[in-house]
Amino acid sequence: MMNRQIHNPLVTPTFYFTVADTVPGFVTGTNQELDTNNNNNRCHLQGSPTHAAVIGLGLSGLAAAVFLSKQGLDVDVYDSSNKPILRQQLAQQLPDVQLHCGSLAVEHWRDDSLLVVSPGVPLSHPDLAPLLATGVRPVGDIELFAQCVQSPVIAITGSNGKSTVTALVGEILRHAGRRVAVAGNIGVPVLELLEDDKNDIYVLELSSFQLETTWSLKPVIAVVLNIVPDHMDRYQSMDDYVATKLKVYMGSTRMLLNADEPYILQGQQSDREQIFFSAATPEKEQDYGLSEINSVVYLCRGDEPLIAAEDIHLAGRHNQLNVLTAWALASSVGVADSQIKEAVVEFKGLPHRMELLHNFNGVAWINDSKGTNVGASVAALRGLEAPVILIAGGAAKDADFTPLREAVEQHVKAVILIGRDAGKIQDAVSDVVPTRLAADMSDAVTQASILAETGDVVLLSPACSSFDMYQNFEQRGDDFRRCAERLL
């Protein structure tokens, strides 16, 4: 069923402060209207703060400190690390701003202070507890952006597929001649884009961490692509994680909803325009889905075929849904189907996401290092028809690997495991498929090359984060690529 009638209200996670849809002091409507003119005037932050405590000096924290300084605020920066490079980065851009290293406890709080928390810092951090207990509402860089942006925003979140959909929507809009900026959890920090704002529209990829501290964003359309258990080392429960994802709909004009996902259908709002997408045939004219016509799978809107699945370059049913979602988002802001189709046909995907590296001796090597949770790896496996040698493992983030069993049993010949929590995956799947442990990526690739036969796929899709062995998933994917290329 495409339009399931579930009308539960959005839920605020138990560890956040309740906020009304309209926040006092917020200039409403400015980032909703498609014909809004840009201006580069200093923006009016809610509450007119004169001081900010920025917690966490990552990319977004540094961008927030720079932005707030340019807005005329006194800024103090706090970071738990004491790395010299942090002081150097801050001193180069903000020589007058003080960096407090070690504790994240704010030392100089005023009645007109603003608490800015970087996405990498959990709101449950004990150093933040005294301030949060007084009712101070933390904000992040996306919230600051939301209070200042004058152009319309498309907001995209979900457990998997965010970057692919965000990048594709950006490419479609560029192809259609729009001045578009793609940012958020992808590309440059979003606040840097307000420096010289000449953009017609923004496409934002938003993580759950960013949504925790976002309250005022009013997208023209928002979507939650999917929700599977992830970051369970950060959230008290699955309900908290779901509620955080659904916050993206809180101020949206239109809602794009995945009709196949019960968690997402909890976010339906009867007072909003709602568009649905699904892997099933669409039931309504405005909804999107997949239909088989003369034995060919088509992406459709209503009963109208838009493009044959075989004409897109991204592998797997999950990527067909990603393209379908991007099509719906672009169409909702006025891009013609013909322009969308041209951009979709040209789009080759992003690195580390079901990226075909090469075929060697009849074996395909695919890099899906961005598969950092169980749901992503399950989707990757289900999108492949050939037998798979799976390389998986890393830091589990308190994940339950039981849902991996069925996909592994159906699609995988052998699993080669790396990383800190390799044993947890081995415990979950060793009774349905042969498993091996590897010392590192090089060893895993060597073992995979011995096991693989003509017609097989060697797939790196770890179902885990990379931080036990690598700086990020990109470095992990690059290591896999280097090791695989040595076989050529």
The dihedrals phi and psi of 276, each to the nearest 5 degrees, come to: -115, 150
Taking the C-alpha atoms of residue 425 and residue 362, their distance in angstroms, rounded to an integer, is 28
Is residue 41 annotated as a catalytic residue, yes or no?
no
Taking the C-alpha atoms of residue 219 and residue 144, their distance in angstroms, rounded to an integer, is 14
Q: Decide: 393 and 425 in contact? Cβ < 8 Å.
A: yes
Residue 221 to residues 255, 265, 304, 328, 460: CA-CA distances in angstroms? 6, 16, 22, 10, 34
Candidate list 162, 175, 318, 352, residue with the active-site label: 162
Candidate list 231, 318, 341, 352, residue with the active-site label: 231
Taking the C-alpha atoms of residue 242 and residue 6, their distance in angstroms, rounded to an integer, is 15
Candidate list 185, 226, 367, 373, residue with the active-site label: 185
Q: Decide: 247 and 217 in contact? Cβ < 8 Å.
A: no
Residue 33 to residues 37, 201, 256, 314, 406: CA-CA distances in angstroms? 9, 10, 18, 33, 46
Range 305-312 contact pairs with CB under 8 angstroms and sequence separation of 24 or more: 306/337, 306/340, 306/341, 307/341, 307/344, 307/345, 311/344, 311/345, 312/344, 312/345, 312/347
Q: Decide: 404 and 374 in contact? Cβ < 8 Å.
A: yes
Taking the C-alpha atoms of residue 356 and residue 55, their distance in angstroms, rounded to an integer, is 39
**Residue from 172, 180, 210 nearest 197 by CA:** 180
Q: Decide: 52 and 116 in contact? Cβ < 8 Å.
A: yes
Is residue 185 annotated as a catalytic residue, yes or no?
yes
Neighbours of 449 (CB within 10 A): 18
Taking the C-alpha atoms of residue 453 and residue 314, their distance in angstroms, rounded to an integer, is 24
326: left (phi over 0), alpha (psi -120 to 50) or beta: alpha
Q: Which residues are catalytic?
A: 162, 185, 231
